[in-house]
Structure 1
Amino acid sequence: MRFHTRKWVKPEDLNPNHTLFGGQLLAWIDEEAALYTIIQLENSKVVTKYMSEINFMASATQGDIIEIGIEVLKFGKSSLTLKCEVRNKMTRETIITVDNIIMVNLGENGKPSPHGKTQIEFVKDRLEDK
């Protein structure tokens, strides 16, 4: 799994228990999944279709640095299925896992559209081809 993004847990990210609010963490995961999909599919029009069971395994507190990891499980005709893990950067303790996130590629009409991709591509490789 590649860990792409780091977040610093700030006071505004906390719940009444003074730990990272789960809703904030899920928003970060959703954003990371969307950004990853946009880059992979080379299309800014993507939406989250599905998130599987979410497993909170540990908490994070103010000042912690967390990192969000994404892994591609499957390329569908118009979708990309991802797996996510968020961990504490310093301790490597897993905070949350999401086994399946399905992102859907949209066409100009806002409907699901085939993306034609079958494997992970790295931006650096695309740039070398040009």
Structure 2
Amino acid sequence: MRFHTRKWIKPEDLNANGRLFGGRLLSWITEEAALYSIIQLEDQNCVMKYMSEINFINPVSQGGIIEIGIEVISFGTTSITLKSEVRNKLTREAIATVDQLIFVVLDAEGKPKVHGKTKVEYVKDRLESES
């Protein structure tokens, strides 16, 4: 799994118990997965169709640094399925996992559109194929 984003836990990210608010973490995971999907499918008209449950494993306090990892599970004809893991950057201790996040590419009418992708592509690979 590749970890792309780091977050520093600040007071505004905490719940009433002084721990990272689950809704804030879910927002960060969703944004990271959406960006990853848009970049992989090379289409900004990409929306979340499904998210499995989030498994909160360990709490995070103010001042903690987390990192969000995304991995492709599969490519569908119009979709991409990802999984995510959030971990403590310094200890590598798992914070939370999401087993499935499914994003779908839509056409101008809001209907699923074939994206033509079948494997993960990295920027360096795209640059090499353009030269």
TM-score of the pair, normalised by structure 2: 0.96
After TM superposition, list the pairs within 5 Å mapping 1:1-130 onto structure 2: 1-130=1-130
Measure how far apart 1:86 and its partner are.
0.2
Gaps of 5+ in 2: none
CA distance in 2, matches of 1:127, 1:108: 28
What are the Cα deviations for residues 27-86 of structure 1, in whole angstroms up to 9, with x where unaligned? 000000000000000001111111112110001111111000001001001010001000
For residue 71 of structure 1, what is the amino acid of its counterpart?
A: E
SS in 1 for 2:91: coil
Corresponding residue pairs, total: 130
CA distance in 1, matches of 2:60, 2:44: 31
Measure how far apart 1:128 and its partner are.
1.8
Measure how far apart 1:108 and its partner are.
2.2
CA distance in 2, matches of 1:79, 1:92: 30
CA distance in 2, matches of 1:15, 1:108: 39
CA distance in 1, matches of 2:34, 2:71: 13
TM-score of the pair, normalised by structure 1: 0.97
For residue 50 of structure 1, what is the amino acid of its counterpart?
A: Y
For residue 4 of structure 2, what is the amino acid of its counterpart?
A: H
CA distance in 1, matches of 2:119, 2:36: 13
Measure how far apart 1:4 and its partner are.
0.7
Measure how far apart 1:94 and its partner are.
0.3
For residue 102 of structure 2, what is the amino acid of its counterpart?
A: I
Moved over 6 A (4+): none
Gaps of 5+ in 1: none
CA distance in 2, matches of 1:125, 1:13: 37
